[in-house]
Amino acid sequence: MEFFGQQKDKIFTQVSQPILNYLLTGEATILGKVEQAVKQIKTEVEGRANLSASLQAPFIGLLDQLQQTTLVKLAAAGKLADPQVLLINNEQQLSQHLQKLLSYVKEAKTATLLEKQLYLKSVGDSQAALITLARARQSFFSSRKQMSSDNINRPLQELIALAGELSGLPLLGVMKQEPATDDVLSFGEKEATQQPEDKAIEPIREIPSLLQHYSKDMELALKVAQAKVTGQEAVNQQISSLQQQLLKLEAELTRDYLRYEHLTLMLMGACALLITSAVLFCIFGGTRMLRRILGGEPEYAVKIAHAIAAYNLNINIETRAGDETSLLAAMKTMQASLALIIGNVNNNVYKLERAAARLTQTAGLVVENNLHQQEVSYSMAAAVEEMSSTVVEITSTMEELSASSTQIADHSTSVVAIANHALENSKKGSDSMQQLLTRMGDIRTGNQNSLREIVELGAKSKEISKVMEIINAIADQTKLIAFNAALEAAGAGESGRRFGVVAAEIRRLADSVTDSTNEIENKIQEIQDSISRLVITSEKGASTIDAGMAASAETARHLDDLVDAAGQTSSAAQQISLSTQQQKTASSQVVSALREIVTASAHTAQSIRSITEIGNEMNAMSLELSKLVKQFKLADT
C-alpha cells in the first residue's frame, strides 16, 4: 500500500502537473522530463517482486498508455507551439523600412517644412500602429483563453491604410548614388541601364507587400493556434482518463491491503502463542544457564565488579578450573592487564618528576648566568658609545690642526687638477655637441622623409574612396537583384513566400553595406583632413628643429662646464671628510653589534624563563598524575 501511494504521488508530481504546465507554456524540455519520469516509475513497478500480478498488470498498462498515446499527442502539439515566427519577422522588416523613411526625411535638405511634417506624421502613425499590432498579436497567442482575431485585424487594417497614405506622399529628392551599368542580372528581364532612384521608393513599395504577407501568415497562424487548442483538449481527456484509472487501481489495492491485514493479525496471534511458550521454558531452565555464563553466583560477580570500580586491583577473583569464557574469567584477565598498565604509569610518573626537577634546576642556573652577561653587555655598550664620542672629538680636533698647514698645498694641487680636467671635458663637450648637431640634421632629414610619406598616404586614401564607390555600386546592384527576386517570389504565390523572405534579407544586407561604405567614406575624409593638418605640423616642426639646434649647442656647452666643475669640487670635499666618516662608521657598527648582543641576551633570558615555567607545569602535572595512580590498589601496596 505504501509503495502504491509513493508511485501515485510520483505520477501526480512528475507526470500530471508537468503536462499541465506544458499545455500552458509550450516549453519543449518538459516533455523530456515527463518521459524520463514515466520510464523510472515503470522500472520500479516491474522490479517490485512482492507486488501481485493483478495490480502490476493494470499499472504497467497505464504507464504504457502514457508513453504510447499521451506523450505522442503532446509532442505533436508541441510542434505547433510557436506559430508567431513569420509574423515577428514581418514586423521587424516593417519597422526597419519605417526607420529608413525617418532617415530619408533627415537627409532631405532641399525639402520644405510642410513636406517633412507630412512624412514624419505618416511614419509616426505607422510606427504606433505597428506597435499596437505587435502587442495585439502577443496578447492573442499568449492568452490562456480563446480571443477574437478582430483584436489583431483592427490594427492591421489601420496599418494598411497608413501604408496607402505613405504611397501618396511626394518624393523629397534624396537619390541613391548608383552608377549606370550595361548589364543588370534579374529574374526574367533585363534593363539596358539603371539610373539612380529616390531612396523613399524602395521602403514605400515594400511596406504594402510585407503587409499582404502578414495577412496570409496571420491566417496560417490562426489555423495553427486552433490545432494547438484541439491537441490540448485531447491531452486533457487523456489526463482525466489517467486519473480515473489511478483511482480504480487504488480501490483494488485497498481491498487487497485489508485482506493482507487480516492474515497478518492471524500470524501475529500465532507468534504471540509461541513467544509465551518460550518464556515459560526460560523461567524454569534459565537460572542454570545464567550461572554458566557468569562463571559463578550472580551476587559474587556483582561484588567483584564493585571492587574494580572502586580502583581495587588487588582483589582475588576465584574462577572454576579451566574456565576461560565466563564473565568472571574475563574480569580476572582485565584486572591483571589494568594492574600492569597502572604500574608502568606509576614508574613513568616518577621519571617525569626527576626530569622536571633537573630541568628547573638547569633553567635557574642559565637565568642567573644570563642576567650577569646582560649586565656586562650593557656596561660594554655604554663604554663603546663613550669611546665613539671621544674618537669623533679627537678626529675633529686633528682636522682643525692640520687644516692650516696643508691648506695652500691642497688647494693649489686641486686647482691644477680641476683646470686640467675642465680642459679635457671642454674638448669632449665640443665633440659631443658636434655629434648632437649631426643627430639633429638626421632628425630633420627623417622629418622631411616622413612629410613625403604622409603626402603619399593622402593620395592612397583618395584611391580608397574610388574603391568604396565601386562597393556602393555593387551593393546597389545587389539590392536590385533582391528586388527582382522578390517580384519573382510574389508571382510564385505561396510556394515563393520563403524565397521572398530571403530576398528581403538580401536587400537589408545591401542597405547595411551601403550605410557602412558611407561611414567608411566619412572616416577616409577625416583621415585626409588629419593628413593635411599633419603636413602643416611637420613643416612647422622642421623649422623649430633648425632653430633649436643652435640654442641646444650653446646651452649644452655652458651646462657641461658647470656640471663638471661642481662635480670636481664635490669630489675634493668628499676626500677631505672620508677618513672621519670611516672612523664614525666603524664606531657605530661596534655599538650596534653590542646592542644586538644585549637584545639577544634579553631574548635568551625570556626563553629560559619560559623553560622554567614549563618545568614547573610538568612538576604539577606529575604530582596530579601521581595522585590519580595512587588511588589504585596494586599488589605491592
Within 10 angstroms of residue 481's Cβ, the number of other Cβ atoms is: 18
Model pLDDT, residue 572: 56
Q: Considering only CA atoms, which of 68, 69, 81, 94 is closest in space to residue 30?
A: 81
Model pLDDT, residue 209: 92
- Write down the number of H helices and E strands in the chain: 12, 0
CA dist., res. 46 & res. 44, Å (int): 6
Tell me 494's DSSP state.
Answer: G
**Across 8-29, average pLDDT:** 72
Is the per-residue pLDDT at 388 higher than 50?
no
Model pLDDT, residue 451: 75
212-255 tens-digit pLDDT: 989 988 888 888 777 766 766 766 676 677 667 666 766 665 66
CATH 1.20.1250 corresponds to the domain 332-615: no
The full set of domain ranges for the chain reads 2-77, 82-268, 332-615
State the cell numbers at 405: 698647514
CA dist., res. 276 & res. 108, Å (int): 111
CA dist., res. 170 & res. 200, Å (int): 10
Q: Which amino acid is residue 430, in one-letter code?
A: S
315-339 tens-digit pLDDT: 788 887 777 777 778 877 877 777 7
- Using a pLDDT cut of 70, give the percent of the chain over it: 56
CA dist., res. 605 & res. 354, Å (int): 24
SS3 232: helix
Model pLDDT, residue 415: 53
Q: Which residue has the higher pLDDT, 247 or 532?
A: 532
CA dist., res. 284 & res. 278, Å (int): 10
State the cell numbers at 104: 530619408
33-75 tens-digit pLDDT: 888 888 888 888 888 777 667 767 777 887 788 777 777 766 6
Q: What is the 3-state composition of the chain as percent helix, strand, coil, each rounded to the nearest 5?
A: 85, 0, 15
In Å, how far are 284, 299, 301, 326, 393 from 293, measured between CA atoms?
A: 17, 14, 11, 5, 102
DSSP string, 334-367: HHHHHHHHHHHHHHHHHHHHHHHHHHHHHHHHHH
Model pLDDT, residue 566: 53
97 pLDDT tier (thresholds 50, 70, 90)? very high
Model pLDDT, residue 186: 46
CA dist., res. 279 & res. 277, Å (int): 6
- Using a pLDDT cut of 90, give the percent of the chain over it: 10
Residue 633: phi, psi to the nearest 5?
-100, 110
Q: Considering only CA atoms, which of 429, 444, 367 is closest in space to residue 615?
A: 367
Model pLDDT, residue 381: 45
State the cell numbers at 478: 545587389
